[in-house]
Structure 1
Amino acid sequence: MFFDQNETMRADRLVSLVLLLRQRGRMTADELASELEVSARTVLRDIEALSTAGVPVYAERGRHGGFSLLPGFRTELTGLNHDEALALLTAGSGRGEKVFGLSTALASAMRKVVDALPEGHRASLDDAAKRFLVEPETDLLSRRLVTEDVASGVMGVVRHAVLTGHKLRFHYAAPDKEPRWHTVDPIGLVTVRDRTYLLAAKSGEDRTYRLTRMLTAEELPELADRPAQVDLDRIWAERSAQFLSENHIPVLVRVKPARREELLSTARAVRAEEPEADGWVRLDVTFEDLRHAVWAIWQLDMAAEVLAPESLRAALRDRAEALAATYGTRQPRAE
């Protein structure tokens, strides 16, 4: 099995190497190694294997040398229509390429997509894909979007255990707790706003783990105890509802539409939303605790009004009164 998997991986790499040379022309061994995420020595062995198989790869010596294909050489790949190719190229241009640790596979797929296009469509599709921007690193207000990195090797192990249906063991660092080992039955992976979660069962109980908190992971030989069919949408909705009901403060608030996104960016989660007759938006959101809620609502000034709970209204009122007392009558001290 291990041998077959290695052979499949090498075959995919050889196809990617040919496509890189077709689409970019002359490339050095180091450039190819960087693209394929292997060593330069591996690239040289692959070049030799391609030449032996009859693929017309030739080397050019000198300062600006490298490897090239004979002009006109073309691999046989299934074609795509214009919209299918544009959809794939656009999807591959965003930050989603890192989802589930499949960036290398996506890059290889994109090369195959481009190579499968008719000659006359390549330039127009390349220009079209550049006119769509998916998930830039900052929003319209230049706030940088925070991404979380999964420990090296963890993503691949977890993904493989999910797909093969084997039990998974990992060292997990929950907030404010010492890292512990967990052995679980993996059910599926869900990515939300660049955060990836493992949905699993532990001793028959539902569990959800964030991959960025896994320090190491290993796939076990035992088969996982899980149903043959899975509905991740339903499971995620159920676990989200349970999560929102535990250890958070629910807040009912009215907000001006222009400040809605600002509020949502600070809230822990949104449970309900509906427009009001005066143009404002009523939101049922959750925050970590009372302190978090006071800080978030205070940023919105007069653009938001808390309807419940009364404890939050009282905390905001006390803060406003304290601020008014500070600036109401006393003159600033002269320098």
Structure 2
Amino acid sequence: MRASRLISLVLLLQSREAMTAAELARELEVSERTVYRDVEALSAAGVPVYADQGRNGGYRLVGGYRTRLTGLTREEAEALFLSGLPGPAGDMGLADAVAAAELKVLAALPSALRDAPARAGQRFHLDAPGWFGGGDPPPLLRELARAVWEDAVVELRYRKDREVVRTVEPYGLVLKNGTWYLVARVGGEPRTYRADRVRAVTPTGAVFERDEGFDLAGYWSGQAASFLRAMLKEQATVRISPTGMRVLRFYVEPYAAERAAEAAGPPDRDGWVETVVPIESEIVGYSSLLRLGPEVEVLGPPGLRARMAEAVARLADLYGTSGGKS
């Protein structure tokens, strides 16, 4: 642990030229006393660190000194491609690798380019999740990411309407509107699974030979629409208000909201329309449409309407003048 911290200290001084003990302590998440001891250890080891006294003082490396410890590991090099997405990288357990890679790249930059990270950070920010797609990452995302990195064949226990078990070759992970998806081969064919519905990941001990011609981005672009059509295999018939139609895209898949808008009939005198909303299943449709509250009436299928009616009755008990909680 200390060796790693000493390397980080040298790289920090190499990339920023001068830093106070307080600044180093903050970056390394240690006490200033630990920084003093680390600087003494580096000096004893022959690293030319010296201190400038005074108001603008701080620790510096003797001019021209460059560490040779700037080579990226495989993990860091792979993680670097995710550095524009620090949140998702952290979700997959790669935050430390990304931070180490960024520090090594910064240390290797010539002084004329040292402001490049700051300039980019001031001008660009990628917010990958959707507005309503926050929350904790899927519980088994790190296990899935590990299997993807290692080309490891795993057994998935996956739940949608019922629980199934599949032996898969995990090719990649995709983050779409705040939702993680696993793309894996099953029986030689690519399949897509929502990561938050994976209940268990069990390594089989086998590895698979990756098809180097497989293009994850290309597959996702070409298959996303058909995947959604296959996933949203059922439909709900609804009456929906103008407000409900405007906000529908926040509560169902954008594809489903688009199909509902296209299928909408003429508005009645209050502006309500009848349409069909593609849904994955009755229970998923229930949880999505219930969030629209009084802006939607489910007409069918009967089972979904019954679920909604039961929920409305329970809400009436909670908020009614009799039998409710005060």
TM-score by length of 1: 0.53
Deviation of 1:158 (Å): 1.4
1:157 partnered with 2:146: yes
Question: Separation in 2 of the partners of 1:26 and 1:219?
Answer: 51
Equivalent AA in structure 1 for residue 159 of structure 2: A
Counterpart among 105, 111, 115 of residue 103 in structure 2: 111
Counterpart among 3, 25, 28 of residue 19 in structure 2: 25
Question: Separation in 1 of the partners of 2:211 and 2:226?
Answer: 22
Counterpart among 278, 282, 290 of residue 286 in structure 1: 278
Deviation of 1:152 (Å): 8.5
Counterpart among 127, 130, 135 of residue 146 in structure 1: 135
| Structure 2 counterpart of 1:208 | 192
Question: Separation in 2 of the partners of 1:291 and 1:211?
Answer: 18
Equivalent AA in structure 2 for residue 103 of structure 1: A
Question: Separation in 2 of the partners of 1:144 and 1:209?
Answer: 17
Q: Which deviations, in whole Å up to 9, do the C-alpha atoms of 1:231-277 show, x marking residues without a partner? A: 32453343662454357433577978876673223214624726899
Deviation of 1:98 (Å): 2.7
| SS in structure 1 of the partner of residue 192 of structure 2 | strand
Question: Separation in 1 of the partners of 2:273 and 2:59?
Answer: 60
Question: Separation in 2 of the partners of 1:150 and 1:295?
Answer: 21
Equivalent AA in structure 2 for residue 18 of structure 1: V
| SS in structure 2 of the partner of residue 148 of structure 1 | coil
Question: Separation in 1 of the partners of 2:183 and 2:251?
Answer: 25
Counterpart among 241, 245, 253 of residue 230 in structure 2: 245
Gaps of 5+ in 2: 52-57, 71-79
Task: Give percent identity, aligned residues only.
Answer: 24
Deviation of 1:135 (Å): 2.9
| Structure 1 counterpart of 2:94 | 102
Gaps of 5+ in 1: 1-10, 60-66, 79-87
CA RMSD of aligned residues (A): 5.8
Equivalent AA in structure 1 for residue 173 of structure 2: L
Question: Separation in 2 of the partners of 1:256 and 1:113?
Answer: 54
Question: Separation in 2 of the partners of 1:207 and 1:111?
Answer: 37
TM-score by length of 2: 0.55
Deviation of 1:168 (Å): 1.6
Equivalent AA in structure 2 for residue 191 of structure 1: L
Equivalent AA in structure 1 for residue 184 of structure 2: A
Question: Separation in 2 of the partners of 1:253 and 1:104?
Answer: 48
| Structure 2 counterpart of 1:70 | 61
| Structure 1 counterpart of 2:183 | 199
Question: Separation in 1 of the partners of 2:191 and 2:96?
Answer: 29
Question: Separation in 2 of the partners of 1:176 and 1:298?
Answer: 18
| Structure 2 counterpart of 1:6 | none
Does the CA-based 8 Å contact 2:233-2:280 persist in structure 1? yes
Q: Which deviations, in whole Å up to 9, do the C-alpha atoms of 1:122-178 show, x marking residues without a partner? A: 3x9637625655439994xxx68213144486255313224xxxx423463536877
| SS in structure 1 of the partner of residue 153 of structure 2 | strand
Question: Separation in 1 of the partners of 2:276 and 2:293?
Answer: 18
1:188 partnered with 2:179: no
1:129 partnered with 2:121: yes
Summarize the Cα distance change of 1:242–1:282 in structure 2 as closer, same or farther, 3 Å threshold: farther
| SS in structure 2 of the partner of residue 245 of structure 1 | helix
Counterpart among 262, 265, 268 of residue 250 in structure 2: 265
Does the CA-based 8 Å contact 1:157-1:217 persist in structure 2? no
Deviation of 1:229 (Å): 0.5
Equivalent AA in structure 2 for residue 105 of structure 1: A
Deviation of 1:105 (Å): 2.9
Question: Separation in 1 of the partners of 2:242 and 2:60?
Answer: 57
Question: Separation in 2 of the partners of 1:284 and 1:16?
Answer: 58
